[in-house]
């Protein structure tokens, strides 16, 4: 069962939607134009129900099958938001908004799910109900959580949920997936170390925060090398180091360091947070200073459920002929919140030999559209076969 012919017919139209969204990127929850476009298209398709304002600017469309003998409801989710990056592709449809671009392919995800919604509204060749979910603020805003907190799963009785992300470096239209932990939990920390500033010629009269902070940065790396089980995954990265003085001859009063922690289990997440606090407080005390630690938990680990992952892989093989085992990804994904609420699976679809996501020269490959749309449509038609 290869790519559906209908999506080959619709590819040019879906590509137009995608490029229009690409040209008009919107960040976080400010997806007002995109959300309005999605709602307008769903209305044109003849969806049975369209609701806006879920999770602030999210959009939900409901499509009923020809029959509903078992009361099955499946959710399909795409993200809509762009990134605060200035585009450098030189494309004729490049972003018209300075400092914003679709550098992660959410324009493609939204367009593909719209394509699937158009097809499913036309055919309705399934027994049950499909809920198409268009989510804002995946890029750090937690829009998926806000949609869940608004009662989306309960309101439409969603029983399973499926998502997709394009993946540069994989052949266009190919698929990869893995069961269990897939994308990492993403936490951040902001630490202020305080000592006693003074003249650089008299370090003995100071509590040197620069040395204190340097020791802290090095010691934080021991969480991965000496605290974590070698078979577990944890990344601790200090990404910002800023002193309160820019002078050559001043030992600063304070140093601020920031960074991120990526983990693949609750236990490792807890351990990393505990050790960061212990290390920072311990080193600060050793030097005679203090540490103010703000540890912020972000997206949880995204976990694919076993049964739904096996099914999603089977559908991918039907569409493209194969489905590879995906590697662990230490990036975060707020589809994790939806998978905490309901069983489901998240899959990668190949974007070809393109720049990586979050790069100013990245662009979604429109040739992936038929495969992505077909996968979503087949998820519905195979999981809820017509009575």
pLDDT tens figures, 121-162: 999 999 999 999 999 999 999 999 999 999 999 999 999 999
5-17 pLDDT tens trace: 999 999 999 999 9
CB 334 within 8 A of CB 301: no
Q: By CB neighbour count within 10 A (0-12 exposed, 13-18 middle, 19+ buried), where does 298 fall?
A: middle
Does 1 score more than 70 pLDDT? no
Mean pLDDT, the chain, as a whole number?
97
pLDDT at 146: 98
pLDDT at 103: 98
**How sure is the predictor about 4, in pLDDT bands with cuts at 50, 70 and 90?**
confident
Q: CATH assignment of 185-296, given 2.160.10.10, 3.30.390.30, 3.30.70.360, 3.50.30.50?
A: 3.30.70.360
- Stretch 89-96: mean pLDDT, rounded? 98
**How sure is the predictor about 185, in pLDDT bands with cuts at 50, 70 and 90?**
very high
Residue 251 structure tokens:
């030992």
Q: CATH assignment of 5-182+301-383, given 3.40.630.10, 3.40.50.300, 3.60.21.10, 3.40.190.80?
A: 3.40.630.10
pLDDT at 387: 86
Query: Residue ranges of the alpha helices (H) in the chain?
Result: 5-23, 32-45, 106-123, 143-149, 152-155, 209-220, 222, 266-287, 306-320, 335-341, 369-383
358-371 pLDDT tens trace: 999 999 999 999 99
CB 364 within 8 A of CB 18: yes
CB 344 within 8 A of CB 308: yes
Q: Is 358 annotated as a binding residue?
A: yes
Q: Where in the chain is the domain with CATH 3.40.630.10?
A: 5-182+301-383
Neighbours of 348 (CB within 10 A): 23
CB 113 within 8 A of CB 59: no
Q: Residue 372: which of 18, 83, 126 has the closest Cα?
A: 18
- Coil, strand, or helix at residue 244? coil
- Stretch 60-87: mean pLDDT, rounded? 98
Q: Is 104 annotated as a binding residue?
A: yes
Question: In angstroms, rounded to a whole number, what is the distance separating the alpha carbons of residues 171 and 167?
Answer: 9
306-329 pLDDT tens trace: 999 999 999 999 999 999 999 999
Residue 75 structure tokens:
């959710």
- Coil, strand, or helix at residue 223? helix
Q: Is 165 annotated as a binding residue?
A: yes
- Stretch 16-20: mean pLDDT, rounded? 98
Q: Residue 56: which of 83, 24, 28 has the closest Cα?
A: 28
Does 2 score more than 80 pLDDT? no
Q: Is 323 annotated as a binding residue?
A: no
- Stretch 108-129: mean pLDDT, rounded? 98
Q: Residue 279: which of 229, 230, 236 has the closest Cα?
A: 236
Does 242 score more than 60 pLDDT? yes
Q: Is 106 annotated as a binding residue?
A: yes
Q: Where in the chain is the domain with CATH 3.30.70.360?
A: 185-296
């Amino acid at each position: 069962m290869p790519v559906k012919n209908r999506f080959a017919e619709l590819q040019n139209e879906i590509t137009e939607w995608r490029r229009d969204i690409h040209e008009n990127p919107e960040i976080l929850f400010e997806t007002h134009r995109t959300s309005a476009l999605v709602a307008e298209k769903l209305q044109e398709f003849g969806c049975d129900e369209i609701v806006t304002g879920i999770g602030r600017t999210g959009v939900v469309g409901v499509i009923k099958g020809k029959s509903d003998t078992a009361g099955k409801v499946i959710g399909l989710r795409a993200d809509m938001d762009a990134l605060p990056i200035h585009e450098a592709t030189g494309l004729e449809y490049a972003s018209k908004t300075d400092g914003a671009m679709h550098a992660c392919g959410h324009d493609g995800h939204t367009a593909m799910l719209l394509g699937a919604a158009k097809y499913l509204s036309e055919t309705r060749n399934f027994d049950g109900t499909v809920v198409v979910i268009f989510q804002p603020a995946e890029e750090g805003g937690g829009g998926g959580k806000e949609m869940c907190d608004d009662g989306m799963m309960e309101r439409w009785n969603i029983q399973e949920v499926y998502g997709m992300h394009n993946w540069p470096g994989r052949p266009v239209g190919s698929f990869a997936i893995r069961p269990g932990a897939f994308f990492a939990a993403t936490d951040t920390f902001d630490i202020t170390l305080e000592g006693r500033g003074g003249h650089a010629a008299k370090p003995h009269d100071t509590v040197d925060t620069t040395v204190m902070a340097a020791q802290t940065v090095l010691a934080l790396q021991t969480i991965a090398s000496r605290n974590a089980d070698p078979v577990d995954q944890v990344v601790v990265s200090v990404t910002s180091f800023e002193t309160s003085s820019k002078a050559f001859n001043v030992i600063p009063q304070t140093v601020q360091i920031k960074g991120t922690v990526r983990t693949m289990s609750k236990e490792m997440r807890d351990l990393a947070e505990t050790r960061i606090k212990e290390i920072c407080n311990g080193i600060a005390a050793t030097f005679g200073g203090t540490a103010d630690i703000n540890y912020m938990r972000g997206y949880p680990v995204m976990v694919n459920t076993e049964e739904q992952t096996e099914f999603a892989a089977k559908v991918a093989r039907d569409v493209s002929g194969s489905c590879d085992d995906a590697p662990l990804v230490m990036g975060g994904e707020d589809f994790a919140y939806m998978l905490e609420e309901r069983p489901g699976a998240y899959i990668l679809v190949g974007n070809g030999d393109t720049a990586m996501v979050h790069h100013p020269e990245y662009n979604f490959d429109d040739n992936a559209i038929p495969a992505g749309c077909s996968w979503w449509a087949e998820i519905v038609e195979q999981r809820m076969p017509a009575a």
